[in-house]
Amino acid sequence: MAFRCLKLLRNVRNNTVFRCNLISSSVPVVEEKKRISNLKEYKTEKNFLYLEDPDTFGTLSLKSPSHSDELQDESDIKEEQYLQNLPLKSQKLTIKQYADLIKQYLKYNRLKEAIDVLEVRMLTQDRVKPENYIYNILIGACAEVGFTKKAFKLYNDMKRRALKPTGDTYTCLFVACANSPWPSYGLKNARHLRSLMIEKGIEPNLTNYNSMIKAFGRCGDISEAFKIVDEMVSKKIKIRVHTYNHLLHACISDKNLGLRHALIVWRRMLKSREKPNIYSFNLMLKCVKECNLGTKEDIEELIGIIQNLIDVTRPVTLQIESKGETALSNNQNSKQMLLVSSTNPVNNESSSNIRSMAEKVISSGETVTNSQSIPVTDNKQITIIKDDENITLEFVGKLAKPATVTEKRTVPNLLSKVLQMKEVLALQEIGSTQEKFAVLGGMEDFLKEMKEVNVTPDIKIFTQMLPLIEESREAEMQLIDTMKGFDIRADIDFYNMLIKKRCLRCDYDGAFDIDHMIDEENKFLKKKYPLKKKLRLKRNIMTYGVLAMACKTKEHAEKLLNEMKSAQIKINIEILGTLLRHGTAHARFSYVVYIMNIVKEENVKINDIFLKHLEEFNDKCTSIIQSKENKQSDTFVKSYEKFSEFYKNWLKDLNVEEALKPEHPWLQFQVSYPDTIQHQNIKIVEPKKFYKRNKKYVEYKVKN
């Protein structure tokens, strides 16, 4: 029964399938075979590499997707390029060659290109691991120009690469803090770096301490600078003259009491028997120029400190020879007689002078100072008779020359080893620069102090001394004559300062006389040294800048600007602002309009000072016209109306808002140096990548 039922079901199923095939297609057998054959073609088991997305269902569309439609990550592309584009060994240079390449860029002040040698070429292109020597060069270059942020960024990158910072690294970082354009930012980094060194237990060396003093002093924290010196003393580090010079540098930052601090440091230096050098005297002159002594009470306190620091002066010692080979007794109570014996007779005045001087020398060992000279002949001999014993007393040196004694100082010199305060009646506050320089002895005594420590002055000493002397032509010519006595020739910077000094006291004719003096000296040098052009004085941008202070009229300004064009010196806004100041001070509209046209023609970027002069001049003219008391002429009113209209159009033509935007001081170091149009002034020599060894063929010889 069961078998019959299964057979029936099988027949029913076969008949149903055949009937459906007849209804659906006219040729059912061929289509079914074709469809089955196509399915067998696209079996996925035969594909060794499946290119489809595993999330896609079915195999209806078996077209491989194009790679351009896929989304690619930039980091993946960079990683792929990094793995594929491997640099060749011949492409890489040595560390010394990279350092030489960096130094070439730094020689021409191309800081951005020098940093790119490390960050682009070494790390990205050549993939060379840098050493701390490379980082020290770049950190030092950033420190010199005050690029503090980049210096510390290189320092952090250096630590990130497991490179150990050296003593030079910390020195350069503190110098970067000292040269920062913002003292508060530099002081913050200096304190952080010092605390970091203490935390890591890094022991600073002498150069590190000097740079610390310079950094804290320049940034305004003088107390911290003196604490560093106390730390050096506690660690038994010898304080040399270079450390004292850095302390003098720190004193300059205090404008109110800096000169007082500098004089105390100077006395400490003399007490420690350290000889000042040329830099010490330069810093003292700069401190006299920029700093003050303080109030009357501060000066009295200063003199008290100086008197406590002065060493006891030693008495004048004379060589004494005895016929009986006995020493001269120093007993002050013993009575002695002096007899002057000579083959030639000696007058009474000279004998009395000798007697009085000998009594002073023998008694109590006091220092002898007298303005008179004692004449001594060749055959003269001083003898002392005591207890029937002859003792001969001879002067050391040539007897043919008179034994002169130094004169007393009538004015107290706070730099000298001996402070003479006997002739000082009272003290008062010192305000002017000339008074401060007089307290230090003036020009003559200052040069004498340099001579006592065997320091020869240079042109920088006299250039810094120029603003400190009296405001007169006689004092200036005396300074020039003193320079000739030291065989020092004035350079263009000295003449620039001299022109500026005369312009500040409104001696404009004297300023142009210095300009003629430069021409005369050039003619003399050209005649004496016709082939040495480097010895001649060449006017620079500073020369024309100080000469602009003497151009009161439009004609003088035109002459000056024409000379600058002939000398191929570009006009800047500072010179034009100085010329504009003369025009606005004397209310010369033609002069002011001429300078404004020069700014527009030369496309010079204006600054806030230039615009401030114009605004003040405009307000001044408006107030003069509106005032009823001072009735101006019609010419002045018409001139102002023309100027006012021109001034409005001039402001529209110039983008004042864009021009007055403050420029960041570090922007110049982040942008590549622009290429010149005509020719390049620098030449960077690329180091050789391949080195050919000179191999010489040596014939092999068999030893017998």
Contacts of 53 (CB under 8 A, 6+ apart): 65
* Coil, helix or strand at residue 393: strand
Asked if residue 571 lies in contact with residue 564, where contact means CB atoms within 8 angstroms, the answer is: yes
Core vs surface per residue 332-364: b (16+ CB within 10 A) or e: eeeebebeeeeeeeeeeebeebbeebbebbbee
* Coil, helix or strand at residue 438: helix
What is the arithmetic mean of pLDDT over 549-568?
92
36-50, 117-131, 598-612: least confidently modelled range? 36-50
pLDDT at 24 over 60: no
166-180, 215-229, 657-671: least confidently modelled range? 657-671
pLDDT at 433 over 80: yes
Asked if residue 292 lies in contact with residue 259, where contact means CB atoms within 8 angstroms, the answer is: yes
pLDDT value, residue 695: 61
pLDDT digits (tens, 9 = 90+) for 159-169: 999 999 999 99
pLDDT digits (tens, 9 = 90+) for 451-506: 999 999 999 999 999 999 999 999 999 999 999 999 999 999 999 999 999 999 99
Higher pLDDT, 595 or 9: 595
pLDDT value, residue 282: 95
> What six digits make up the tokens of 263?
């004089």
* Coil, helix or strand at residue 389: strand
Residue 60 identity (one-letter amino acid): L
Cα-trace Rg, the chain: 44
* Coil, helix or strand at residue 385: strand
pLDDT value, residue 361: 37
| Distance from C-alpha of 655 to C-alpha of 192, rounded to nearest angstrom | 42
**Which parts of 552-633 fold into alpha helices (H)?**
554-566, 573-585, 589-602, 608-626
> What six digits make up the tokens of 422?
């006997």
Asked if residue 219 lies in contact with residue 190, where contact means CB atoms within 8 angstroms, the answer is: yes
pLDDT at 366 over 50: no
Around 86, how many Cα atoms within 13 Å sit in the side-chain half-sphere? 4
DSSP, residue by residue, 489-546: ---HHHHHHHHHHHHHTT-HHHHHHHHHHHHHHHHHHHHH-TT-GGGS----HHHHHH
pLDDT at 275 over 50: yes
pLDDT digits (tens, 9 = 90+) for 95-153: 999 999 999 999 998 999 999 999 999 998 888 999 999 999 999 999 999 999 999 99
pLDDT value, residue 49: 52
Higher pLDDT, 248 or 361: 248
Going by pLDDT thresholds of 50, 70 and 90, the confidence category of residue 18 is very low
pLDDT at 576 over 90: yes
Asked if residue 146 lies in contact with residue 176, where contact means CB atoms within 8 angstroms, the answer is: yes
168-177, 183-192, 430-439, 515-524: least confidently modelled range? 430-439
Asked if residue 328 lies in contact with residue 384, where contact means CB atoms within 8 angstroms, the answer is: yes
pLDDT value, residue 346: 39
pLDDT digits (tens, 9 = 90+) for 309-360: 775 434 444 333 333 443 334 443 333 333 333 334 434 444 444 344 444 4
Closest CA to 501 of 471, 525, 544: 471
pLDDT value, residue 398: 42
Maximum C-alpha span of the chain: 182
pLDDT at 405 over 90: no
| Distance from C-alpha of 427 to C-alpha of 304, rounded to nearest angstrom | 13
Kindly state the percentage of the chain with pLDDT values over 70: 70
pLDDT value, residue 250: 92
Judged by phi (left if over 0) then psi (alpha if -120 to 50, else beta), residue 433 lies in: alpha
pLDDT value, residue 293: 85
Place of tokens 């690294």: 169
Going by pLDDT thresholds of 50, 70 and 90, the confidence category of residue 430 is confident
Neighbours of 506 (CB within 10 A): 12
| Distance from C-alpha of 147 to C-alpha of 667, rounded to nearest angstrom | 10
Question: What is the CA 483 to chain-centroid distance, rounded?
Answer: 27
Closest CA to 661 of 587, 605, 621, 617: 605
* Coil, helix or strand at residue 386: strand
CA distances from 668 to 110, 496, 603 (A): 10, 28, 20
The CATH number that domain 95-309 falls under is 1.25.40.10
Residue 432 identity (one-letter amino acid): S
Q: What is the 3-state secondary structure (H, E, C) of 441-481?
A: CHHHHHHHHHHHCCCCCCHHHHHHHHHHCCCCHHHHHHHHH
Higher pLDDT, 362 or 177: 177
Q: How many residues does the chain have?
A: 704
- For the stretch 648-654, contacts whose Cβ atoms lie closer than 8 Å and that sit 24 or more positions apart, written own/partner, are 650/596, 650/600, 653/600, 654/599, 654/600, 654/606
| Distance from C-alpha of 192 to C-alpha of 197, rounded to nearest angstrom | 9
Residue 21 identity (one-letter amino acid): N
What is the arithmetic mean of pLDDT over 361-376?
41
pLDDT at 72 over 50: yes
Query: Phi and psi for 272 in degrees, rounded to 5?
Result: -80, 5
pLDDT value, residue 401: 44
pLDDT value, residue 691: 53
Place of tokens 């600073």: 204
pLDDT value, residue 694: 59
pLDDT at 661 over 60: yes
Asked if residue 647 lies in contact with residue 614, where contact means CB atoms within 8 angstroms, the answer is: yes
Domain segments of the chain: what residues?
2-39, 95-309, 320-327+336-364+376-393, 551-673
Core vs surface per residue 624-641: b (16+ CB within 10 A) or e: beeeeeeeeeeeeeebbe
170-179, 270-279, 404-413, 520-529: least confidently modelled range? 404-413
pLDDT value, residue 634: 78
| Distance from C-alpha of 640 to C-alpha of 631, rounded to nearest angstrom | 14
* DSSP bridge pairs for 391: 322, 384
pLDDT at 367 over 70: no
pLDDT at 308 over 80: no
Query: Phi and psi for 321 in degrees, rounded to 5?
Result: -115, 135
Asked if residue 198 lies in contact with residue 226, where contact means CB atoms within 8 angstroms, the answer is: no
Asked if residue 225 lies in contact with residue 216, where contact means CB atoms within 8 angstroms, the answer is: yes
What is the arithmetic mean of pLDDT over 662-681?
75
pLDDT value, residue 56: 63
Going by pLDDT thresholds of 50, 70 and 90, the confidence category of residue 593 is very high
Higher pLDDT, 75 or 384: 75
pLDDT value, residue 704: 59
Asked if residue 421 lies in contact with residue 310, where contact means CB atoms within 8 angstroms, the answer is: no
pLDDT value, residue 343: 35
Mean pLDDT of all residues in the chain? 78
* DSSP bridge pairs for 389: 386
Which sign, positive or negative, has the C-alpha torsion 82, 88, 89, 92?
Answer: negative
Residue 674 identity (one-letter amino acid): P
Highest-confidence segment of 59-73, 224-238, 357-371: 224-238
What is the arithmetic mean of pLDDT over 656-674?
80
pLDDT value, residue 262: 92
Going by pLDDT thresholds of 50, 70 and 90, the confidence category of residue 595 is very high
pLDDT value, residue 582: 92
pLDDT value, residue 28: 46
Place of tokens 């105390």: 264
pLDDT value, residue 652: 86
pLDDT at 33 over 90: no
pLDDT value, residue 363: 42
pLDDT value, residue 676: 62
pLDDT value, residue 410: 55
What is the arithmetic mean of pLDDT over 229-249?
94
Kindly state the percentage of the chain with pLDDT values over 90: 45
Going by pLDDT thresholds of 50, 70 and 90, the confidence category of residue 199 is very high
| Distance from C-alpha of 662 to C-alpha of 301, rounded to nearest angstrom | 45
pLDDT value, residue 685: 86
pLDDT value, residue 372: 41
